[in-house]
Amino acid sequence: MNTPNCPHDGETMKYGTRRIEIKYKGMSAFVDMPGWYCPKCNEGIITGKDMKLSDKALNELKVQHEGLLNAKEIRRIRKKLHLTQKDAGTIIGGGPRAFQKYESGELLPSRAIVSALKLLDANPRGLVVLGGKALQPAAKKAMGA
């Protein structure tokens, strides 16, 4: 992106960070938000690439508030089940790239995915039910057999 001028006062903007507060249902977090900022009036232009930072912070607040699994927990359970991200997305749900996005914090899993993961964490044998005979070796590894 070329150096933009402020839409408010025409001043040349500078690329940097500003500390912003992200709020969700009574919870908040602070993020050092990168973007183009006007040194005169503080007007900001945030690009899609930079927005991913605040999106992840918002997702983390949602995880905490809604009682969902965070990215690290999702990854831990998937690895415990000896599944690739692609296999987890196919068997548990969400599609072949879903677990990549869940584990990066880019996408929140649905309550159904979270419930399935919690059940499989407590009882890895359920993997056989979800995945059929093709997943028996992975399920056996997950059960320590």
Top-confidence residue, 65 or 138: 65
Going from the C-alpha of 114 to that of each of 16, 75, 93, 128, the distances in angstroms are: 37, 12, 10, 18
Give the number of other CB atoms < 10 A from CB of residue 5. 14
Which residue carries 């869940």 as its tokens?
102
So what's the pLDDT on residue 2?
A: 87
Q: Where are the domains of the chain?
A: 14-52, 71-142
Is residue 39's pLDDT more than 60? yes
More confident residue, 129 or 114: 114
- Each residue of 79-125: pLDDT tens digit? 999 999 999 999 999 998 999 999 998 899 999 999 999 999 999 98
| β pairing state of 14-24 and 44-45 | unpaired
Q: What's the CATH number of domain 71-142, 3.40.50.2300, 3.40.1280.10, 1.10.260.40, 2.40.50.140?
A: 1.10.260.40
